Structure 1
Amino acid sequence: MVDERELENGLTQGEAERRLKKYGANLLENKKRISPVKIFLSQFNDFITWILIVATIISGFIGERADAVTILIIVIMNAILGFAQEFKTEKSLEALKELASPTSKVIRSGKLKVINARELVIGDVVLLETGDKIPADCILMSEGNFMVDESILTGESLGVEKSTSGKNNSIYMGTIVVKGKGKAKVVATGMDTEMGKIAGMLQNIEKEKSPLKEKLSSLGKVLVVICIVICIMVTLTGMWRGQDKYQMFLVGVSLAVAAIPEGLTAIVTVALALGVSRMLKRNALVRKLPAVETLGCTSIICSDKTGTLTENKMTVKALYFNGKIHKLEKMSLPENILMKKAFTYCNDSNFDPKKKKVSEALMGDPTETALIKAFFKESKSLKDFLDKGSRIYDIPFDSDRKMMSVIMKEGLKKVCYVKGAPERVINKCKYILDRGQVKLFTAIEKNKALKSVENMSFDALRCIACAYKDKEVYANKSLENNLIFIGVAGIIDPPRSEVKDAVLKCKLAGIRPVMITGDHKNTAFAIGKELNICKSQSEVITGEELDKLNDKQLSGRVNDISIFARVNPGHKLRIVKAFKSKNNIVAMTGDGVNDAPAVKEADIGICMGISGTDVTKEASSMILLDDNFKTIVSAVEEGRVIYNNIRKFIRYLLSCNLGEVLTMFLTSLFYLDTPLLPIQILLVNLATDGLPAIALGVDPPQGDIMKDKPRAKDESIFARGLSEKIIVRGALIGVCTVLAFVVGLYLGFGLKTSRTIALCTLIISQLIHVFECRSEKHSLFEISLFTNIYLLGAVATSIFMLLCILYVPFLQGVFHTSPLGIAQWFIVLFFSGIIAFINGIYLYFK
C-alpha cells in the first residue's frame, strides 16, 4: 500500500543525515586510490636516474662525498617537484570526477531538492523521468508509462515496463529511464545494490589517454635514443682525450638526465589538468581530457536555442483563441476556462502551496511554469484550481510526438487535455472551440490558426497549442485523435545579452555558430537574425525539408545552413554527420535522452548541466554548468590557450635541452675542456626545466588568440614552424654558451671562472628564452612581462638560486663556481641576450 504522506514529504533532512552516517555514502567502492608514496617513488623509476644515483654513491665511497651528496639532493628535489605536479594533477582529476557524478531529485521534508547521488539514503523518495540514471535500488511507488533500460545488468536491449504492483516494481542502480516518469523509494544503496553485488564499477570521468600525450611519449622515446647516443659520444671523446674516466662517465650520465625530456608528457598532463580547472571556473566541466585538445580545432558549434542562446526565462505574451490574437499586456481578456485547464493540468511543474506567490511556488521547466503564471498570481487560487481535478493517466511529452497528454478526473467525468507544437496539435483536432461552442474544425479555420501561429512566430514568440476532448476518453492509441482545438499561447524567450558578443567572437575565430531548435522556422529566424547567426531565411531549413534530402544532398547544402528549425533529436545525428563529412570539427549540444547519439557522434559532445539528462551527460565530453552559449565559446578559447601553452613549453623545453646537449657536444668536438661539471649540468636542469616550464603551462591567453582560424585536427604539434624555432634557438643557445666559455678562457679568467661564465650564460639565456616562448608572433618588446606572475616568480627563483651558488662561499665549493665581476657578467649578458635582442628586432619589424 502506497503511503501518500510518505510520497509527499519524504524523509526529514535530519533523518537523512542520520542514515547517511549509519549506512555510508551511496557509492560503489573504488579500489584505485591515489597513493602519494607510489607517486613519489615513480619519480625515480627511470634507468638513467638509477645509474646516476648508483654512480654518485660510488663517488661518495671514493672520496667525492660533497659532490655525491649534492647530486643526490638535486635528484631528490627534482623528484619532489615532479611529485608535486603529478599529485596535484591526480587530485584535480579526482575532484572533477566528484563534480561530474550524477545528481538526484529527492523529496526531503516536503520539498524537492537536487542532491549528489552519493548522499541518497534508504527511505529517500526520488523523482525519476525519461533520461535519468537510476541512482540506487528502488521500489516504484507511482508511475506514468514507466519503462527502464536494464541492459547494463541483464544484457537485454529492449526496455522493460515497470509498474507499482507485483514483482515488476523493482528498479536498479545504473539502469536508465527510457520512458515515463515516477516516484520511487530507495531500498538499497552503494555496495548493497544489485550493481554493487556484481562489482559494477561506474566511473564518471574515464582516465583516457590524451592523443597529444601519446604522440609526445613516442617522440620522447626517439629523443631519449638521440640524447643517449650524443652523451655516449661526449663521454667516449673525453675518455679518448685522456680525461678522468669516472668524471666523464658522470658527465655523460648527468647530461643524459638533464637533456632527456622525461617531463614532457608529465607537463602536458599538468597543463591539461590546470586548463580543465580554469574551464570549470568558467562553468564548463570537461569529462574527457582528449576533448581539451579537440576544442581548439572546433569549426562548427551546433547549439540548441532555448536556454543556451536565450535566457530560458519564459513569459506568455499573447494568446490565440476565438479566432483572434490577444496581447496579454491589455489585461482585458475574456476568461477561457478550458485553455486555463489545459495549460495548468497538462503540466509537469512542481508546486509548493506553502509559498504565497505562484512565481515563487513553481519549479520545473520554464515553458511549463510560464503557462501557469499566465493564469495565476497567488498560490491559493492555483491550489484551489488544482484540487478540482486529479490526474489519472498521462502520456509524457516526447520529441517525436511533440505533444503531452493527460486524463483528468473532474467530478464524475474524465477529460483529456493535450498541449504541444501547434502543427501537431492542430493536425489531431477535428473540432474547434469557438466562443464556448464546439464546431467542426474546417480547413479554412485550420489555415487561419496556422497563419496566426506564423504571425506570432515572426515576433519571436514560441507557440504552444492546446486541445481537449471529453468523450471516448481512455488510455490507448486513439487518445490523441479527434480533439477539440482550444487555442495557442505565444511565449517570449529573449536572447541572452552576452550571446551576441560570443557569436561575433566565433565568427572572428573562423567558427560558425549554428542554431538547432524545435521551434517554428520564423521564431528561430527572428532570434537568429537578432544574434547575427544568419542574415536571410535562405539559411534556415526545417526538419520537414530535411527529411526530403538524402545524406549526400544534405552534405552538399549543410555549409550554407545556419538554422535548423522544427527538428527532432534524430535529425541532430544527421546534421552532425553532414558537417563532419565536410571536414568540419563539430561541437554539438544536447540535453534529452534522444540527443545522446548526436552528442556522442560529435567531435565535442556538450550536455546541458541544468536541463541535461544523465544519459546525455555520460555521452558527452563536456557539461555546461550554466547552459550558456557563451560558456561554449569560452571553452573553445580555453582549449586554444591550453594547446598554445603546450606548444610554448615544448618549444622551451626542447630548445633548452638541445642547447645543453650541443654545449657539451661542440666542446668535445673541438677538443676543448669540459665547460660544465656533472653537478653544474644537474643544477641547470633543476633551475630551468622545472618551474619555468610549468609556469608557461598557465600562461594567460594572448589578446588575438580568437582571431586565428581553427587548426586542423591532425595538425602536428610542431606545425607552423615550431620545429625550426626549436632547432635554431637550441643551436644558438649551445653556440653562445660555448663562445662565452671560449672568451673566458681567451681572456685568461681560468678554467673554473670560465666554467662559471658558461654555466651562467646557459641558465640566463634559457630564462630569457622562456619569455620569448610566450608568443610565436610577437617579440619580447611587445609582450607584457607582468601578465604571468607565476613565470616571473619561477624566473626570480632560478636567478636567486644561481646567485646563491656564485656568492655564498659554502655553495661555491659545492658547485665549483667562482664569483663573477662586472667584466665576466658583461660576457654572460652579452652572449645570453644578443640572440633574443636580434630576434626581437626582427619580429618587431616583421
Structure 2
Amino acid sequence: MIQEKELVKGLSTAEAEKRLSTYGYNTLMDKKKISPFVIFLAQFNDFIVWVLIAATIISGFMGEMSDAITILIIIVINAILGFIQEFKTEKSLEALKSMAAPTCKVIRDNKIKVVNAECITIGDLIVLEAGDRIPADAVLVEAGGILLDESLLTGESVGVIKSTLNKENYVYMGTTVLKGKAKAKVAQIGMKTEMGKIADMLQSIEEEKSPLKEKLESLGKIMVIVCIIICSIVTLLGILRGQPIGDMFLLGVSLAVAAIPEGLPAIVTVALALGVSRMLKRNALVRKLPAVETLGCTSVICSDKTGTLTENKMTVKALYFDNNIYYLDKENTEGNIVLKKAFIYCNDCNYNLSEKDIHKALQGDPTETALIKVFFKDTSKLKSFLDKSIRMFELPFDSSRKMMSVIIKEDSSETCYVKGAPEKLLDKCSFILEESVVKALTPQKKKEILRNIETMSSNALRCISAAYKEKGITYNSFLEKELVYIGTAGIIDPPRREVKDAVLKCKMAGIRPIMITGDHKNTAFAIARELDMCKSIDEVITGDEIEVLTDKELQIRVKSIKVFARVTPSHKLRIVRAIKNNDNIVAMTGDGVNDAPAIKEADIGVAMGISGTDVTKEASSMILLDDNFTSIVSAVEEGRVIYDNIRKFIRYLLSCNLGEVLTMFLASLFYLENPLSPIQILFVNLATDGLPAMALGVDPADSDIMSQRPREKKEGIFARGLSEKIIIRGVLIGVCTLLTFIVGKIYGYPLKLCRTMALSTLVLSQLFHVFECRSERHSIFEVKIFTNLYLVAAVGVSITMLLCIIYIPVFKNIFSTVALSVGHWLIVIFFSGIIALINSLYLWFKTKR
C-alpha cells in the first residue's frame, strides 16, 4: 500500500531525509582533493626558490647569519602569500562546482520540486522531460514512450526508446532524454549506478587552463632565462671589479628572485577566480575559465526572447474564434467550449489540485499555465473538468513540427486535440468550427484567419492555435491531418524593465544585440521595437526565409538583421555560424536540448539556469541563474574588467621588475658600487610585488569601460602599446633609482645612506606607479584613489614596511639601512614621483584635449 502511494505522491520529505541518512547522497567519487599542507609545500617546489635556499645555506656557512635568517624568513613569507592565493582559488572553484551541480524534478509530498541531484534517494519519484539528464538509475512507472541518448554508456549515437510496456523500462544515470515525458522510481544512486562504475567519465565541471595563463607561463619561462643571463652578467662584472664571489653570487640570486615575476600565473588565476565569483553575484555562473577572457571580446549577443528579454509571465490577453477577436481586458468571454477543451487537455502543465490557489496549483511552462488560467480561476472546477477525461495517447511538442497532440477519452468517445504554431497547424487543417458548425476551410477563410492572427501578433501577442478531430484517429504521427480549426489564443509576455537599459549599454559598448525566437514575426518585432533593438520590420527575418538562403547569402543578410523569428534549432546553428564568419565573437543563449549544437558552436554558449535543460547547461560556457539578458551584459562587463585588471598588474609587475634589474645592471655597467644589497633587493620584491599586484586584480572598472569597442579575440596581452609602457616605465624606474644613488654619492653621503635612499626611491616609485596602472586611458587625477581600498591598504602596508626597516633599530641592522632626514626624503620623493607626475599631467591634458 505504501509503495502504491509512493508511485502517485512520491516520498514524503521526512521519509526522503530518513533514506538519505540510510543510503547516503547520490554522488560519485570525486578526484582526491589536494590538502592545504601539500599546497603549502608546493610553494617551495620552484627552481629559483631552491637556488635561494642554497644561497641562504652558503651565507650561513660564510658567517652571514643575519642575512641567511632574513632571506629564509622572506622565502617563508612569500610561500605563505602564494599558499593563500592558491588556497583561495581552490575554494572558489569548489564553490563554483557546488553551484553547477545538476538539478532534477522530483515528486515530494505530492508536489513537483526541483532539488540538487545529489539529494535524491532510493524510492524517489522523478519527473523526466526532453533535455533532462537522468540523475540516477531508475525504473519507468509512467511513460507512453520516451527517447533516450545512452551514448555516454553505450557509445551508440542512435536514440533508445524506453517504455513501461516492455522490458526496456530501466533508465540510467547520466543519460539524457531526447523526447517525451515520463515518471520513474529511483532504484540505485551514487556509486551503485552504472555510471558509478565509470565515475571518472562524469565530472560536473570541466577545469580548463586559461589560454592567457598558458601564454603568461610561457612568457615567465622566457623571462627566467633573460633574467638569469642579466643577473649572471651583473655577478660576473662585480667579481671582475674585485667584489667577493660569495657576496656577488648572493646578489645575483637575489636579483633573479626579485626580477622574475613568479607570481604572475598565480595572480592571473586569482583574478579569474575572483572575477568568476563577482559574476556569480550578478547571476552569471561561468563553467569554463577561458570564457572569462572571451567575454571581453563579445561583439554580438544572440538572445532568446521568452524569459530572457521578457518576464516569462504569460497572460492570455485575447481569444480569436467564430471570426472575432475578443480582447479579455476589454470584453468578458468564456470562449468556445471546444477551444477550452483543446487548451486544457492538450497541455503539459503539472497539477497539484490539493492546492486551493490556482497560481500555486499549476506548475510548468508559463505558456501552458496561462492557457489554463484564462479559463479557470478556481482549482475545484478545474479538478472536476479533468476528472471527466483520460489521456490515451500523446505526440509531444517538438521544434520541427511546432505542435502537440493528445487523444482524450471522454465517456466512451475519443477526440484528438492539437495545439501549436498557427501557420503550422493551419497547414494540417481541412475544416473550421464556426458557431458550433464544422465547415470546409477554404483558402479565403484561411487568409482571413491569418490576417486576424497578424493583427494580434502586431500587438506583441504570441499566438497559439488549437484544432481537433473526432474521426480517423490513429495512435501514431499520422494523427495530425484533416483537423478542424477552432481558434487562437494571444498571449502577452511583457519585456523586462531593465533590459532596455542593457540593450543601450550593449550599443554603447559596440555590441550588437540580436533576438532569436520561435515566435511570430510581428510579435518578435513588437517586443524588439519596444526594447530599441530594431526600428524597421526590414530588420526581421523568419525561418522560412532562411531556408531559401545559401550559407553565403545568409552570411551577407545577417549583417543587417536584428531579429530572427519563427526559427528552428537548425536555423540557430546556421545563424551563429553566419555571424561568426563575419569576424564576430558571438554569445548565444538557449534552453532546450536542441539548442545545444548552436550553444556549442558559439564563442560563448549561454544556458538558462531556470528553464535550461541539463544537456544545454553542459554544452555551455556560462549559465544564467536568473535567465535574464541583463545578466549577460553584466557578465560581458565583468569579462572586460577582469581582462583590464590582468593587463594592469602585468604592466605593474613587469615594469617594476625591469626597473629593479636595470638599477643593478646599469650600476655594474658604469662601474658603480651596488646600489642595493642582496637582502634589500629581496625586501623590495616582498614589499612591492605581492599585495599591490593582487589588489590591482580586484580593481573596479573604469567608468567608460562599456563605452569602448570590443577587443579583437586574437589581440595579444601586450597590444595597444602595453609593451612600450612597460619598457619606458621600467627604464625610468631604474634610471631614477640610480640617479638617487649617484646624487647621494655626489653629496658625499656614506654608502649605507646612499643605498637607503636608492631603496626608498625604488619602493616609492613602484608604489606611485601602481596608481598609474589603474587606468590606461586616465591619469591619477581622474581615477579616484579610494575606489579601491584594497590597493590603498596594500600601499599603506608596503610604506609601513619601508619605514620599519629605516627607523626601527633591529630592522635597520638586518637590512643595513640608516634613518633618512627631511632633506634626504625630498630627494627620494622628487626622483620617485617626478615621472609619475609628468606622465599623469600628460594623460590629463590629452584627455581634456
Tell me the TM-score normalised to structure 1 length: 0.99
Q: 2:682, 2:740 → 1: CA distance?
A: 20
Residue 55 of structure 1: aligned partner: 55
State whether residues 334 and 375 of structure 2, in contact with CA within 8 Å, keep that contact through their aligned partners in structure 1.
Answer: no
Tell me the equivalent position of 1:342: 342
Q: Which residue of 2 aligns with 1:322?
A: 322
- Map of 1:388 onto structure 2: 388
Q: State the match for 1:288 in structure 2.
A: 288
**Sequence identity (%):** 68
Does residue 170 in structure 1 map to residue 174 in structure 2? no
Instruction: State the Cα deviation string for residues 31-77 of structure 1 (Å, max 9, x = none).
Output: 23132122111111111211111221232233211111111011110
Q: Which residue of 2 aligns with 1:154?
A: 154
Gaps of 5+ in 1: none
Q: 1:598-613 maps to which residues of 2 (within 5 A)?
A: 598-613=598-613
For 1:691, the equivalent position in structure 2 comes to 691
TM-superposed CA distance for 1:666, in Å, is 0.8
Q: Which residue of 1 aligns with 2:332?
A: 332
What are the superposed Cα offsets for residues 163-192 of structure 1, whole Å, 9 maximum, x if unpaired? Answer: 114431111011111110100111111110
Write out per-residue CA displacement over residues 534-557 of structure 1, whole angstroms, 9 at most, x where no aligned residue: 111111110000000000111111
Does structure 2 retain, via aligned residues, the 8 Å contact 1:356–1:380?
Answer: yes
Hey, what does 2:5 align to over in structure 1?
A: 5
Q: Specify the alignment match of 2:560 in structure 1.
A: 560
Please say if 1:834 is aligned against 2:834: yes
Task: Write the distance in 2 (CA, Å) between the matches of 1:390 and 1:241.
Answer: 101
The correspondence of residues 233-244 of structure 1 with structure 2, limited to 5 A, is 233-244=233-244
2:623 aligns with 623
Whether the 8 Å CA contact 1:430–1:483 is kept in 2: the answer is: yes
CA contact (8 A) 1:314 1:492 kept: yes
Asked whether the equivalents of residues 457 and 463 of structure 2 are also in contact (C-alpha less than 8 Å), the reply is yes
Match of residue 639 from structure 1: 639
Write the distance in 2 (CA, Å) between the matches of 1:144 and 1:814: 82
AA aligned opposite 2:514: V
Instruction: Say if 2:394 and 2:407, in contact at 8 Å, map to a contact too.
Output: yes
Alignment partner, residue 120 of structure 2: 120
Letter in 2 for 1:300: V
Amino acid corresponding to residue 723 of structure 1 in structure 2: S
Equivalent residue runs for 1:530-569 within 5 Å: 530-569=530-569
**Amino acid of the residue matched to residue 471 of structure 2?**
K
- Matches for 1:744-823 after TM superposition, within 5 Å: 744-823=744-823
Partner of 2:209: 209
Task: Check conservation: 1:43, 1:82, Cα contact below 8 A.
Answer: yes
Return the offset for 1:204: 2.2
Q: Could you tell me which residue of structure 1 aligns to residue 730 of structure 2?
A: 730
Q: Assess if the C-alpha contact under 8 Å between 1:513 and 1:562 holds in 2.
A: yes
Q: CA deviation at 1:4?
A: 5.1
Native 8 Å contact 1:28 1:201 kept in 2: no
Kindly provide the CA deviation profile for residues 771-813 of structure 1, in whole angstroms up to 9, marking residues without a partner as x: 0000001111111000001111111111111111111111111
The alpha carbon displacement at 1:106 in A equals: 0.6
User: 1:708: which partner in 2?
Assistant: 708
Alignment of 1:334-413 (within 5 A): 335-413=335-413
Give secondary structure in 1 for the equivalent of 2:464.
strand
Matched, 1:582 2:611: no
Shift of 1:334: 5.2
Cα distance in 1, alignment partners of residues 322 and 669 from structure 2 = 97
1:310 Cα shift?
Answer: 0.7
Alignment of 1:231-270 (within 5 A): 231-270=231-270
**Which residue in the other structure is 1:422 paired with?**
422
Task: Please give the secondary structure, in 1, of the residue aligned with 2:144.
Answer: strand
Q: Give yes or no for contact 2:395–2:477 (8 Å, CA) kept in 1.
A: no
Q: Which amino acid aligns with 1:711?
A: R
Q: Residue 180 of structure 1 corresponds to which residue in structure 2?
A: 180
8 Å contact 1:755–1:817 — kept in the other structure?
Answer: yes
Letter in 2 for 1:304: D
Q: Give secondary structure in 2 for the equivalent of 1:715.
A: coil
Task: Quote the offset at 1:256 in angstroms.
Answer: 0.5
Assess if the C-alpha contact under 8 Å between 2:605 and 2:620 holds in 1.
Answer: yes
1:574 CA drift (Å): 0.2
Q: Secondary structure at the match of 1:638?
A: helix
2:25 aligned partner, one-letter code: A
- Map of 1:98 onto structure 2: 98
Select between 815-824 and 3-12 the one with higher mean Cα deviation.
Answer: 3-12
CA distance in 2 between partners of 1:108 and 1:696 (Å): 49
> Match of 1:405, SS?
strand
Q: Distance in 2 between matches of 1:330 and 1:784?
A: 55
RMSD, aligned CA = 1.2
| Residue 3 of structure 1: how far off its partner (Å) | 5.7
SS of the aligned residue for 1:330 comes to coil
| Counterpart residue number, 1:477 | 477
Q: Residues 128 and 182 of structure 2 are in contact (CA less than 8 Å); yes or no, is this contact kept in structure 1?
A: yes
Between the aligned partners of 2:291 and 2:640, the Cα distance in structure 1 is 12
Alignment partners' CA distance in 2, 1:537 and 1:655 = 54
Q: How many residues align?
A: 846
CA contact (8 A) 1:756 1:817 kept: yes
Which stretch of the first structure deviates more once superposed, 291-300 or 37-46? 37-46
CA 1:392–1:3 in structure 2 vs 1: closer, same or farther (change >3 Å)? farther
Q: For residue 466 of structure 1, what is the aligned residue in structure 2?
A: 466
* Secondary structure in structure 2 of the residue aligned to 1:144: coil
SS for the counterpart of 2:494 is: coil
Q: Confirm or deny: 8 A CA contact 2:145 2:164 kept in the other structure.
A: no
Equivalent residue letter for 2:609: G
Match of 1:526? Answer: 526
1:145, 1:395 within 8 Å by CA — same for their partners in 2?
no
Verify the 8 A CA contact 1:664 1:674 in the aligned structure 2. yes
- SS of corresponding position for 1:147: strand
Unaligned runs of 5+ in 2: none
Shift of residue 431, structure 1, vs aligned partner: 1.2
Contact 2:453 2:463 in 1 (8 A): yes
1:614 matched to 2:597: no
Q: 2:402 touches 2:424 (CA, 8 Å); kept in 1? A: yes
- Indicate the residue corresponding to 1:274 in structure 2: 274
Counterpart of 2:534 in structure 1: which amino acid?
A: C
Q: Classify the secondary structure of the residue corresponding to 1:134.
A: coil
Structure 2 counterpart of 1:707, one-letter code: S
1:108 and 2:133 correspond: no
Question: Per-residue deviation at 1:331?
Answer: 4.2
Report deviation, 1:442.
1.4
Describe the superposition over 1:387-438 as per-residue Cα deviations: whole angstroms up to 9, x where unpaired: 1112121111111110111111111111111111001111111111111111
